[in-house]
Copies of this chain bind each other. A is one copy, B any other.
Amino acid sequence: MPRFRALLLIASLSLPSPLLSADEIALVGYSPSSSQTEREWEAKFRAIPDPANIREFMRRLSARPHHVGSPYDKDNAAWILARFKEWGFDAHIETFDVLFPTPKVRLLEMVEPAKFTAKLDEPALAVDPTSNQKSEQLPTYNAYSIDGDVVAPLVFVNYGLPEDYEKLDRLGISVKGMIVIAKYYHSWRGVKAKVAAEHGAIGCLIYSEPQDDGYTPDNVFPLGPMRNPEGVQRGSVMDFASSSPGDPLTPGVGATPDAKRLPLKEAKSITKIPVLPISYGDAQPLLAKLAGPMAPAEWRGSLPISYHVGPGPAKVHLKVEFNWDIKPVYDVIAKIPGSSAPEQWIIRGNHHDAWVNGAEDPVSGQSALLEEARAFGELLRQGWKPHRTIIYAAWDGEEPMLLGSTEWAEAHADDLRLHAAVYINTDSNDRGLLSLEGSHSLEQFINAVARDVEDPETKLTVWQRLQLSKIAQAKSAEERKELRQRADLRIGALGSGTDYTAFIDHLGIASLNLEYGGEDEQGIYHSIYDDFYWYTHFSDTDFVYGRAMAQTGGTSVMRLADAEVLPFDFVDFADTVQKYTEELERLLADRQEAIRERNQQLDEGVFKATLDPRRPTLPPPREDVPPHLNFAPLRNACDSLARSAEHYRQALSHRQAALSEVSAAWLRALNQMLIESERTLTNDDGLPRRPWYKNLLEAPGVYTGYEPKTIPGVREGIEQKRYGEAEQEIVRVAKALEAESSLIESAAQTLEQPTR
């Protein structure tokens, strides 16, 4: 079906009829009567969460530093376990033993042309009562940096992205044998270290630029929410995107006591060069002593200096050594067994470990999750019985790199592949708009949930507020038109950086990632100042967005757990895959055009003509124009998908009224097909050069980390100029999508068959 027609159908089918209020239309996957019952239970549920509880949970969990291996991390796990049990869950702690390095030596000094020793210390502030817990705080460092002791001239590399090094090439500057200094943001910090090493750097500093999260966006802490001159962003620099997240010594398997462990030297996800994060107070003296070309205009920040690239004359000595210890992570796992379909699992998780006190990251999300669980305890007492099994997880070790969730997912991979229907993740939570990311088969579902939660500030539904805000931010009339006319708001693809990664990328479990935020600036990320004082002064201070998050997360879990037919839908999915395909074709065409143009400019002498002899630059390299690729298999798969998705939606719609009359076996078979729908997008061989990542439709970018690449085999193939590989990947993805289409078609046919 052509795309336009599909869009029209979406609009006509899913917009509520004007004669029926939203409440009178049966929920997708529910018979009218069970829909009515579900709506009543959901309403009861959403009335329960109380901001005062969320506040109290945050106070308790963030009262002391609670990183992996710390006493309060274990204490929190035990406390969370007790709460789950108190609320009627079948709960336990599951422990894994993982590699978790902590610093032994951290030294950064400028040795030329002036002496300066970096403080590498965040001072306690009198107004902030937890900032003085010095003995329990992890020092500022980057976990999974390799040990190192290097002295070299410094080079400023902007955000340390591959394109930044291309600019350095044009300036004739190599980082070979140098120490680089990069700004935080715009990529996963581990990517900065990886790219620096790939270009021959021997050390990497990462600093928090005040233009990004210091004084430029707002006042600094404790006067305002932003990073003060001493504030440092700790964080993992594990190279997870090109290998795997989780324990570096047990890739692909759970880090159980008897697991086979790699020797440290063979761990692929440790950085190749030493890395250290620093504050802008420590960075300024170093940057001020760089000469060489001025940094390109868009590289410059808001320090009161002229940003030069170097190399040198600043020469720095960087020394880091770590305790390469094995530490326990404590995942708290709590279950409500399903009443009629216990073999189908709805999993809901948020991590509980932090870099220091972590009120915002992750306790804001963890506290809302606990309030959700408490509310379910209430509902259970009132007689609510979910059809499916609900599993709540408070993950440990997310900060070092998704240790707790990854090891659990790897340890239970077989069961999860059989039983897991959906994984719903949260992490931090703040004030503002609901951010929606996830599997596109859940796009319609999560849009519906967002239509049933009230925004605390505007009293609109969170869906309405999001739609109107997107209209306000839209950059074109076309975008606004789609926002006004498409039934569902598009949801983002999943990248990485939080605990859904193993579920969606490794196991092919349909996943969602939810978060409120966007209204408040913040510059305390991964510092000692991310604490209860900060959160209750500068974020969701009255915890009403914590309540909204509990309502959103809980409603999602209930509605998935109670539906007769899992509320997957494939029309938005098909539409989105079509969009990705068009993006890929445009990406290739744009590259072809850009390289053709650049070659022409080389022929015309444009680069010689624009050369300023006082600021010499090298012309860009001449490149072959990329070949055309055969996108037909993807196009055909998109067409199949659009047809089967439409067929499934209509079949479900016709069957919906009769869902209460069908047999359990029929339902189980149908739901099993739906559960398989995300698995079908995976391939056992995984993505090129990273077999742990098995989902062919989305993955964290090898050079982005947090940001997703959709249809990554093809997209990264084009981006990284492996055109032959891209063409093979088109075929592989198309096959998976054709299989997906067949599965959806089978589900549609099942819906049209007699039930017994």
Residues of A within 8 A of B (CB): 210-211, 215-220, 224, 226, 294, 297, 300-307, 432, 457-458, 460, 464-465, 468-469, 471-472, 477, 480, 519-520, 593, 597, 601, 604-615
Q: Are B294 and A218 in contact (CB under 8 A)?
A: yes
The answer to whether B304 touches A215 (Cβ under 8 A) is yes
Q: Which residues of B contact A220 (CB under 8 A)?
A: 306
Instruction: Beyond A215-B306, A457-B612, list 6 extra A-B contacts (CB 8 Å).
Output: A219-B306, A458-B609, A458-B611, A464-B609, A469-B606, A480-B597
Closest 5 CB pairs of A and B: A468-B609, A302-B302, A468-B606, A304-B304, A215-B306
Q: Known contacts A458-B609, A458-B611, A519-B612; is A306 also within 8 Å of B218 by CB?
A: yes
- 11 residue pairs bridging A and B, Cβ less than 8 Å apart: A218-B294, A302-B302, A457-B612, A465-B609, A465-B610, A468-B605, A468-B606, A469-B609, A469-B610, A471-B601, A472-B609
CB-based nearest B residue for A604: B468
Complex contact A601–B472 (CB within 8 A): yes
Are B519 and A614 closer than 8 Å at their CB atoms?
yes
A674 to B612, CA, bound (A): 40
Complex Cα spacing A287 to B449, Å: 46
Closest chain B residue, CB of each to CB of A607: B472
Residue numbers in B under 8 Å from A457 (CB-CB): 611-613
- A220–B607 Cα distance when bound, in Å, is 28
Find out whether the CB atom of B304 lies under 8 angstroms from the CB atom of A303. Answer: yes
Distance A605 CA – B468 CA, assembled complex (angstroms): 7
The residue among A464, A472, A480, A607 with the most chain B CB atoms within 10 A of its own CB is A472
Contacts of A465 in B (CB 8 A): 609-610
The docked-state distance in angstroms from the alpha carbon of A305 to that of B302 is: 9
* A519 (CB) vs chain B CBs: closest residue: B612
A477 touches B597 (CB 8 A): yes
Q: Which residues of B contact A610 (CB under 8 A)?
A: 465, 468-469, 472
Contact call A609/B460, Cβ cutoff below 8 A? yes
User: Contact partner of A593 among B224, B477, B601, B604, CB < 8 A?
Assistant: B477
Instruction: Give Cα A158 to B217, complex, Å.
Output: 16
Q: Is A304's CB under 8 angstroms from B472's CB? A: no
Interface-centre pick from A303, A477, A480, A610 (highest chain B CB count, 10 A)? A610
- Please indicate the chain B residues that have their CB under 8 angstroms from the CB of A300 in the complex: 216, 302
Which residues of the other chain, B, contact A605 by a CB distance below 8 angstroms? 460, 468
Q: How many Å lie between the Cα of A604 and that of B458 in the bound state?
A: 14
CB distance from A165 to the nearest CB of B (A): 21
Task: With CB as the reference atom, state the residue of chain B lying closest to A471.
Answer: B606
**Closest Cβ neighbor of A457 among chain B residues:** B613
Contacts of A460 in B (CB 8 A): 605, 609
Chain B residue nearest to A480 (CB atoms) is: B597
Chain B residue numbers with a CB within 8 Å of A210 are: 304
| Interface-central residue, A217, A219, A609, A611, by most chain B CB under 10 Å | A609
Q: Is the CB of B519 within 8 A of A216?
A: no
Q: Which residue of B lies closest to A305 (CB)?
A: B215
Q: Which residues of B contact A614 (CB under 8 A)?
A: 519-520
**CA–CA, A562 and B593, complex, Å:** 47
- How many angstroms between the C-alpha atoms of A607 and B465 in the bound complex? 10
Across the interface, do B606 and A472 meet the contact criterion of CB distance under 8 Å?
Answer: yes
How far apart are the CA atoms of A477 and B604 in the complex, in Å?
A: 16
Q: With a 10 A CB-CB cut-off, give which of A302, A465, A469, A472 has the most chain B CB atoms.
A: A302
Chain B residues positioned under 8 Å from A612 (CB to CB): 432, 457, 519
A606 contact set on B, CB distance < 8 A: 468-469, 471-472
CB atoms of A471 and B604 under 8 A apart? yes
> Which of A216, A219, A307, A469 is packed against the most chain B CB atoms within 10 Å?
A216
Q: How many angstroms between the C-alpha atoms of A401 and B284 in the bound complex? A: 42
Q: Which residues of B contact A604 (CB under 8 A)?
A: 468, 471
The interface residues of chain B lying within 8 Å CB-to-CB of A432 are 612
Within the complex, what minimum Cβ distance (angstroms) separates A471 from chain B?
6
> Nearest Cβ distance between residue A419 and chain B, in whole angstroms?
40
How many whole Å from A157's CB to the nearest CB in chain B? 18
Output the least CB separation between A477 and chain B (Å): 7
Chain B residues with Cβ under 8 A from A294's Cβ?
217-218
Nearest CB of chain B from residue A27's CB, rounded to whole Å: 25
**C-alpha gap A432/B224 in the complex (Å):** 45
Chain B residues closer than 8 Å to A217, beta-carbon distance: 294, 297, 306
Shortest distance between the CB of A310 and any CB in chain B (Å): 14
Whole-angstrom distance between the Cβ of A730 and the nearest chain B Cβ: 27
Residues of chain B within 8 A of A608, CB atoms compared: 458
Complex CA distance for A218 and B306, rounded to whole angstroms: 6
Complex CA–CA separation, A301 to B302 (angstroms): 7
| Shortest beta-carbon distance from A740 to chain B in Å | 36
